[in-house]
Structure formats: C-alpha cells, structure tokens
Chains A and B, each alone.
Chain A
C-alpha cells in the first residue's frame, strides 16, 4: 500500500506508472471483490480503504490527481474515489468537505466531454451525496441540478439508458429529506424541466423496455420526494402547486389512464398522483375532473374505485389506489361529501355507475380484502367531518328480500358479529370507531342495537386468542371505550353510568387495558401510524389504516382516563387539561361536535388569556425591576459624591495644618526679634556706661538715633504680631467652619449607613488641642 501511495506522490509526472498504481489501488479497495466467497475477504476492500485514509493527505492527493485531464489517470482516479466512498462514506465525506473546493472539483467532473468519465463521475457523486446534507447543498449550489438535467436530456429522458437511472439516483440523494434543496429545486423552476419525462406514451407502444420502467420509476420517486407527506407541510404544499402549474400532475394523470403502462409503473404513478394532491385542495379539485378515455367517459376516480374492489387486480395496485383515493379525500370536506352523496338514498335513481355503488359492492363482496378496502374508503369520508357522519346514518339497505331495510351502521355491526373473517371484523370495527368518534347520534344508533354492547363484551372477554384475533379484541375494547366516552345518555339501558358499571363488573379495567395494548403494541399499528401509505405484501397484512391509527392514538389515553374514574361525572384532576375540559362540561355535555370544538376553543381562549396576563405581569415586573435598578444606581452615585466631598474636606483640612507652619515661622521671627531687642537694650546699657568717657554729645545723639530706630523697629514688630494674630484668628474661624462641615458630612454619611472610621474622629479632636496650645503661646508673647 505504502509503495503504491508513494508512486502516486513521487512519480506524478509519469502518467503510465501513476495509472498502474491507481488501477492496483482500485483492485484492492473494490467493495464487490469476492462477494460470494469467504466473508473475511469481503471486508478486505474496507480494510485497505482504512489503511489508505489513515493519512487524510492521501485523499487530498487523490483529489489533486483528479485534476489531471489524462484519460488514463482521471478515470481510475474517479473509480478509486468512488470505492473509497462506498467503503468509508462518513470519513471520506468529512475529508472532502474540509479540503478547499474539494466537492466543487468533483461536480466539475460532470462536465467532462468524455462520456465515460462523466458517467463514472455520476456514480462517484451518487456515493458522495449519500445522507450528507452539507455535501448535497454544495452540489445544488454548484449547479448540480442543471448538469444532471442536461445529462438526462442528452440521454433522451425516460428512453435513455442506465445513465439516466444513475442520474436519477443522484437526483434522489440530493432531494431526499433536504428541505433547503427542495426549496431550491422549486425556486429554480426545475420541476418544469422534469415534464418531458412523463410525456404521453405512444399509443402504439407495446410493452416498455425494462430500462424505461426503471427510469420512470425513479423519476416518480423524485416527484414523490418533493411532495412527500413527511416534508414540512409548507414545502410540500408549494411543490404540489408547482406540480399542477407545470403540468406534471396532468401528465401523471394521463399515465394513469393510458394503455400499455406496465403495472409497476402504473402503481407508482397512482401513488405519486395521490401525494401530489394530498391535502392540496386545488389539486384535489383537478383530480375530481380527470376523465378516463373510456366509452362512455367516466371519471378517473371511478376507474380507480373499480380497481379497488376488483379482487383480480394485484394487491400492490389496489393499495396504491387506496392511498390515492384517501389522499383525494384527505382534509377536503367537499370531496368527502361528494362520495357520501352517492351512497345516500336520493341518488339511487342515477342509472350510471356511481362511487357509492362501487363502494357498496365492495362492502358486500365475498372477498374480505374488498370489504376492508371499501370500509377504509368510506371511513375516510368521515374523518374530521361531523356533517358526513350524520348523513351516513341515513343510509338504509335492503339486504334480503322481504325483510325490512336496516341502516348501514347496523348492517356493519351485524356483519362484524356474523362473519368469521378476521380481516373483515378488523376493517369494520375500525370503520365503526371512526364513525362513532365525536358523534352522539351515531353512538345512539349504535347502542340502540341491543346486541351491540353484549357482543363487544363477549369479544373482549374471550380468552385464548390466536394471531390476529387479538386485534379484534383490542378494537372491540376501543369501540366500547368510544361508546362510553361519547355517550350522550340517550339510550336508557346504556347510559354512561350503566356502561361504567358494566365495564367494571363484567370486564374489569385490566382486561380492557390489555385489549387496547394488543393494538398499541403491535408492529402493524406502529407501522401504519408512521406513514399514511399502506404497503402490504400480503392481503392478510391489511389491518390498520393510518387515519384509524391517529384516532386510536388520540383516544386511547382519554378512554383510560375516563374509566379510571368510574363514578364521578367530573374527571379526576390528574390531568389539568382533562380537568379543564370537565369543568366546562366537555365530557358530559357533548351533544354535538360543535360543542366539542367550542369547548376546545374555550380552553384555547382561556389559555391565551392566561398567557396574555402572564406576559403583562412579566413586563410590569421587568419595569419595576429596572426602576429599582436605576434607584439603586442613583443612591450609589450619591454615596460616591459624598465620599468625594469628604475626601475633599479632609484634604482641605490637611492643607490647613500645613498653613500653620508659616505661623510657627512667624513666632520664631518674633522670638528672634525679641532677642535682638534684648541684645540691643543690653548694648545700649553698655553704651550708657561707657558714655562717661569719650565725646558724650555725639554718643548721645547716636544713642538717641539708635533708640528711635529701635523704637520704630519695635513698633513695627508689634504691629506685625498683631496682624499675625488677626490672621490666626481668621484661620481659626475657617477651621471651625470646616470642622462643622466635616461633622455634618459625617452625620449625613452615618445617616446613609456608611461606616465612618474612628481614626478620623481622633484626628479631629487632636487638631483643636494643638490650636489651643498655640493660642496660649501667642497670648503669652503679647503679654
């Protein structure tokens, strides 16, 4: 391995040897090598890949080798990169993501004029884009969609070879679960470019080639990815609208009605149409108008229903039809009403084939699967639609000659009791539970059949069940629970209270819970709950319908809650929401579904109100909080100010003591002068004594001069002392004033709770003492 890698880096200039080295690496990393032999050998490719990528530089080097245009090098290099990606996708993806322009370079390979290289690049990118949203987005940014569509176009769309299939693989990788790319795809008007794929098949075309089937199948997957019910609903809805405005939906519908379309393609096309119209009113309306080119022309919907109740049609096709028709009914009250209308008595005079007739034939068919399908479709007309639940109650059937007609609901109930086919029981019980949900009148009609409740109880309590019989038990428990939960107390023998007692005495909470658990724990249930499309491999696997699963999920806990509190009219406060409902009489007072809706609205309104008031409270508290904060800040700044003032005052006082020094100095001068005077006086005396000898007049005159001079001097000194004393007094005054200010600051500080140091007070006392001593000294001198 090392030697080969070495060749790649050292002998780059020799294309031949580099090509050989690449080929060798290609062989050892081949993931398909020895596939059916020793399982240990199968991992060889992986192991070699691991060794190769231990140094991520090797991958970077391979990336740079791809720049080489030489066919002999580029082709094996692409293949080697593909091998590496297949063996260690995550690791290689990370390395390529961090190498500058790594991904972009690989996308560029799609533009290689040599088809072989381009085709290999397609495979490389398909491996590269597997479950890595970041790489998928970069490829979309690098015009990946344009390049792929160009390739598909040049290959002739659906009539193209395996290259088209490879391109579509890449397409799917880029779009699957990648909302950003889906938006980009729609925004970039790429949907329109898919149209030629679904162009009207030639009427003379007998039998599609396998490759075309595969290509169209993959293209349908691309469309489904864009309108998948699992995408964010906004993304799906905009894509659905684009499908219609670009004509894709129309083309798909024509495939549905065309001759010679292989079953596999047809099945997938039906599912795709379903997802294109699911929950999108505009598209559902369009679908209702699609006519089949039959004689006489019939709506496509009818053709689909005919397929549904025809037991000779393949199961996968019938499942696809179920999904498509359910999608047509999904969240669309008008289409639900249209179907129910054909079941009502008024429309019986219509001679032509109607949806109602087909569905009834399905319900009464000997084929249990048809029964199940028909029940699933009719129950879908009732989902979240209170009006249709009421209307359907009016349907009367004349089952046997000479016997009085019975209602559809009772017929369903009777069939459940009489049939020994588990699938029919399951299908019809599901139908009943959808019908009973939130509909007091249907519960009343159900309970008015005196056999209904005893039958359910017998089902629930029958032990030792096999296989799918447990689901019948679970569904019986659920239907019983719904009868209790939505009981309007209109049937005297089965009031809410009666039923509660019945359940406690005859069944027991545990048995009922066990029954419900049979459903909620089953794989079939969990699978159907996850996705609206049902994929049954065998007809007996048709058990739970998606819309029923949603219903079951919602009401199972509510029924158990109701049961856990058998005697009270008001539910236990275990759940605040339930308590809320019961306070408003939701549980006891649901005469009509409107009440239920209103009660929900009431709950929402109240919650809204409380949220609002909470919000207001929060803003008020926040305002208070900021107010307090600003107050605290204000006070802090005041304290700071005072502290500053105090410091200033102290500084002033200190400077005052400094100014006392000159005072001392004056005193010293005075003392010195004093001494001088004394000295002079002594001298004068000396002169007076020596006056007896010498020239006395001159001497006296001199003496006299001297005296006057001295006297002047003395006078000046006295004046000076006096002036200094005045200064001193002034200073003293100033000092006391300062003292007062300081003490007032202190008291203010104390008021504000600040700690005033003892030291400061001691100092304060010291200063006046000094001053007193000084004062005394001054007076001494003057005296």
Chain B
C-alpha cells in the first residue's frame, strides 16, 4: 500500500495504563484483558486517511517501567507524535505526567505533537482523576486531550487520528521540515519527485504493490 506521508509515533506513560492495549485496539481492533508486560519497545502499524491522503502510522509502544526508561528515551527524537497516557483510575499515573512531559520535551524535537490521553474511561466508577483535571493539565502544557477506553474502543481511533491531523496541519503550515527524516515524518515514495531511491528499471518494481 502506498502512502503520501509516514508518521512515527511513540506511546509513553506509566506501566499498566494501557499503552499496549491502545495500540492493539488501534491496529488489530481487539482488546487483550491480560496485562502482558512490554519489554523495551514493540512495533505496530496502520494506514489512515486524512484529507483524502493515505497516511501510514508507524507506532512504537514503549515499556512504562522505570528500568526501560533509558531505552525508551532513544525513541523521542525521531518521533513526530507522542501519545502520553495515564490511567483515570490511578491518580499516581496522572501525577507522574509532569516527569514524562519533561522527559519528552527534553529529548524530542520541539515540534513533536503530544496527545494527552486519560485511558480506561469505561471504569468511571473507579475514577480518581476528573476529566476536567486532564483538560486543565493539557491546556496548561499545550497538549491535545482525550479520554479513551482501549477496552470499548471509545475514542481510540480519534486519539491516533487527531494526533495525525495535528501533525498534518503542522506540515501544511510548514512548521515541520519534512525533508529531515529525523523528525519522524517521511514522504511517500511516489510523492517525492526527486526520490533518489526509486530503483530505476529494476525488474518488478512496477509490480511490487501490495507489499504491506
């Protein structure tokens, strides 16, 4: 499948807030109730459409545990978007947001779009963090905010797609330097006229569609 743009995302936040579940829900449309600890980082991908353009999302799901923090830091720089996730039923995960945000701002490129996500909105009875608190935090730090449920899939699509929209708008405004791949954005192979990579005359280069 060809694409106009490719965006790299990372998902960050405390352990057990549902990062992997959000990714799984987005890429596979299913929910895994058993907590399977992420080791280091795991990769997932999906194609979306924005403004009539195919956009490929490559998503790196990071481990929330402190032990993996130094590894996950390596992923900030090359990401165009980040989903910063907390668990609305655990206040401590909300309290740690500042640390996460500092970490992200310090190691990422300044244009990285950060989406704040209060996950597990299906567990309203056990809620410890009010929606308004999330909104206030997001406003204070210039983030987009959403409450999601990886279990019921509520707002999961929107979270990933809205982040992509924001990045897309930044590209349109010329904020992102799309020729620098270190920003986590790539232009699709057939969309860059001066692409030096296209294997000229290589056999089968024309029949190679449907590779992903």
Q: Mark A206-223, 1 if CB is under 8 A from B, else 0.
A: 000000000000000000
CB contact under 8 A between A195 and B78, given known A141-B60, A153-B199:
no
**Cβ of A109 to closest chain B Cβ, rounded Å:** 14
User: Nearest A residue to B206 by beta-carbon distance?
Assistant: A247
Q: Please give, as numbers and ranges, the residues of chain A lying within 8 Å of B212 by CB-CB distance.
A: 186-189, 242
B136 at the interface (CB under 8 A from A): no
Selected contact of B202 from candidates A140, A196, A245, CB within 8 Å: A196
Distance between Cα atoms of A646 and B42 in the complex (Å): 62
Shortest CB-to-CB span from A402 to chain B, Å, is 58
Interface residues of B in 48-93 (CB under 8 A from A): 58, 60, 70-71, 73-75, 77-78
Give the docked Cα–Cα distance between A104 and B73 (Å): 10
How many whole Å from B73's CB to the nearest CB in chain A? 6
Is A134 within 8 A of B71, CB to CB? Answer: yes
State whether A138 touches B71 (Cβ < 8 A): yes
A contact residues around B78 at 8 Å (CB): 104, 141-143
- The interface residues of chain A lying within 8 Å CB-to-CB of B197 are 146, 149-150, 153, 193
The residue in B73, B208, B210, B211 that gathers the most chain A C-beta atoms within 10 A of its C-beta is: B211
B residues less than 8 Å from A141 (CB atoms): 8, 41, 60, 74-75, 78
The reply to whether B211 and A97 form a contact with Cβ atoms under 8 Å apart is no
Query: Among residues 23 to 67 in chain B, which have CB atoms less than 8 Å away from a CB atom of chain A?
Result: 40-43, 45, 58, 60
Contact across chains for B77 and A104 when beta carbons are under 8 A apart: yes
What distance in Å separates the Cβ of A142 from its nearest Cβ neighbour in chain B? 6
Nearest-neighbour CB distance to chain B for A541, whole angstroms, equals 39
Complex Cα distance, B2 from A188, in Å, reads 10
* A191 on interface, CB distance cutoff 8 Å: yes
Within 8 Å by CB of A100, from B8, B41, B73, B210, lies B73
**Is the Cβ of B74 less than 8 Å from the Cβ of A101?**
yes
> What is the CB-to-nearest-CB distance from B149 to chain A, in angstroms, rounded to a whole number?
23
Contacts A189-B212, A191-B211, A192-B208 hold; do A251 and B58 have CB atoms under 8 A apart? no
Is B166 an interface residue when CB atoms closer than 8 A count as contact? no
Task: Give the distance in Å from the alpha carbon of A141 to the alpha carbon of B60 in the complex.
Answer: 8
Contact B211 A189, beta carbon cutoff 8 Å: yes
- Residue of B41, B74, B205 near A104 (CB, 8 A) is B74
Within 8 A of B (CB), among A94-136: 97-104, 133-134
> A101: which B residues are within 8 A, CB to CB?
73-74, 77, 107
CB distance B204 to A183 under 8 Å?
no
Given contacts A142-B78, A195-B205, A199-B203, contact A180 B43 (CB under 8 A): yes
Whether, in the assembled complex, B99 has its beta carbon less than 8 Å from a beta carbon of chain A, the answer is no
Choose among B40, B45, B203 the residue that contacts A195 (Cβ–Cβ < 8 A).
Answer: B203
* Distance, CA A133 to CA B45, complexed state (A): 19
Cβ contacts under 8 Å, A192 to chain B = 205, 208, 211
Whether, in the assembled complex, A524 has its beta carbon less than 8 Å from a beta carbon of chain B, the answer is no
Tell whether A137 is near chain B: CB-to-CB under 8 Å: yes
- On whether the beta carbons of A143 and B71 are closer than 8 Å, the reply is no
- Contact status A143-B181, CB under 8 Å: yes
Distance of A523 Cα from B43 Cα, bound (Å)? 38
Complex-state Cα separation, A251 to B202, whole angstroms: 11
Residues of B contacting A140 in the complex (Cβ-Cβ under 8 angstroms): 43
For the complex, what is the distance from the CA of A246 to the CA of B202, rounded to whole Å? 12
Q: Are B210 and A245 in contact (CB under 8 A)?
A: yes
Report yes or no: A246 in contact with B204, Cβ–Cβ below 8 A: yes
B77: chain A residues at CB < 8 Å are 101, 104
Q: Which residues of A contact B70 (CB under 8 A)?
A: 97-100
B194 contacts the other chain (CB 8 A): no
A184 at the interface (CB under 8 A from B): yes
For A193, give the chain B residue with the smallest CB separation: B199
Contact A184 B58 (CB under 8 A): yes
Measured CA separation A200–B209 after assembly (Å): 20
Q: Which residues of B159-212 have CB atoms within 8 Å of chain A's CB atoms?
A: 181, 197, 199, 202-205, 207-212
Q: Are B41 and A137 in contact (CB under 8 A)?
A: yes
* In contact, B40 and A134 (Cβ under 8 angstroms): yes
Are A187 and B58 within 8 A (Cβ)? yes
Interface size class of B (residues with CB under 8 A): 20 to 34
Hey, which chain B residues are within 8 Å of A369, CB to CB? none
Query: Chain B interface mostly helix, strand, loop or mixed?
Result: loop
Q: Is A250 an interface position by the 8 A CB rule?
A: yes
A245-B43 contact in complex given A141-B75, A146-B181, C-beta closer than 8 Å: no
Contact residues in A for B203 (Cβ distance below 8 Å): 195-196, 199-200, 247, 251
Task: State in angstroms the CA–CA spacing of A133 and B70 once bound together.
Answer: 15
Q: Are A97 and B71 in contact (CB under 8 A)?
A: yes
Give Cα A676 to B41, complex, Å.
101
Residues on B with beta carbons closer than 8 Å to the beta carbon of A250: 204
| A251 touching B204 in the complex, CB below 8 Å, given contacts A100-B107, A193-B199, A245-B211 | yes
Contact residues in B for A146 (Cβ distance below 8 Å): 181, 197
Task: Please give the distance in Å from A256's CB to the nearest CB on chain B.
Answer: 16
Q: Tell me, rounded to whole Å, the shortest Cβ–Cβ distance linking A686 to chain B.
A: 88
Kindly name the residue among A97, A141, A150 whose own CB sees the greatest number of chain B CB atoms within 10 A. A141
Do B42 and A180 touch across chains, with their CB atoms under 8 A apart?
Answer: yes
Is B43's CB under 8 angstroms from A195's CB?
Answer: no
Asked if A195 and B202 sit within 8 Å, CB to CB, the answer is yes
**B67 to chain A: closest CB distance in Å?**
11
**Residue numbers in B under 8 Å from A246 (CB-CB):** 204, 208, 211
Bound-state CA distance A191–B199 (Å) is 13
CA distance A85 to B40 in the complex (A): 21
Nearest B residue to A142 via CB reads B78
**Pairwise interchain contact B8-A195, C-beta atoms closer than 8 A:** no
Q: Which of B8, B40, B58, B199 contacts A137 (CB 8 A)?
A: B40
**Set of chain A residues within 8 Å of B205, measured between Cβ atoms:** 192, 195
- In the bound complex, CA of A183 to CA of B74 (Å): 20
Given contacts A246-B208, A247-B207, A180 and B74 within 8 Å (CB-CB) = no
CB distance from B59 to the nearest CB of A (A): 10
Nearest CB of chain B from residue A224's CB, rounded to whole Å: 18
How far is A377 from B14 in the complex, measured between Cα atoms in Å?
A: 55
Of all chain A residues, the one with the shortest Cβ separation from B207 is A247
Q: Which residues of A contact B41 (CB under 8 A)?
A: 134, 137, 141, 180
Report Cα–Cα, A146/B42, bound state, in Å: 19
Q: Which of A137, A142, A184, A195 contacts B204 (CB 8 A)?
A: A195
A406 to B96, alpha carbons, bound, how many Å? 81
- Report the bound CA distance from A188 to B205 in whole Å: 15
- Bound: A242/B202 CA distance, A: 17
Given A101-B107, A150-B197, residue A195 in contact with residue B74 (CB < 8 A)? no
Q: A143-B78, A187-B212 are in contact. Are A199 and B73 (CB under 8 A)?
A: no
Closest to B203 in A: A199
Known A-B contacts A153-B197, A180-B42, A246-B204; the reply to A103 vs B74 at CB < 8 A is: yes
Q: Is the CB of B208 within 8 A of A247?
A: yes
B199 and A195 within 8 A (CB): yes
Pick from A133, A138, A143, A199: contact of B74, CB under 8 Å: A138
Nearest A-chain residue to B73, judged by Cβ = A100
A146 to chain B, nearest CB (A): 7
A-B contacts, 9 of them at CB < 8 A, read A99-B70, A101-B77, A141-B75, A181-B43, A184-B43, A186-B212, A195-B199, A195-B202, A250-B204
Supply 5 further A-B pairs (C-beta < 8 A) apart from A245-B208, A251-B204.
A101-B107, A134-B40, A138-B74, A140-B43, A195-B202
Closest 7 CB pairs of A and B: A247-B204, A98-B70, A192-B208, A187-B45, A196-B202, A134-B40, A189-B211
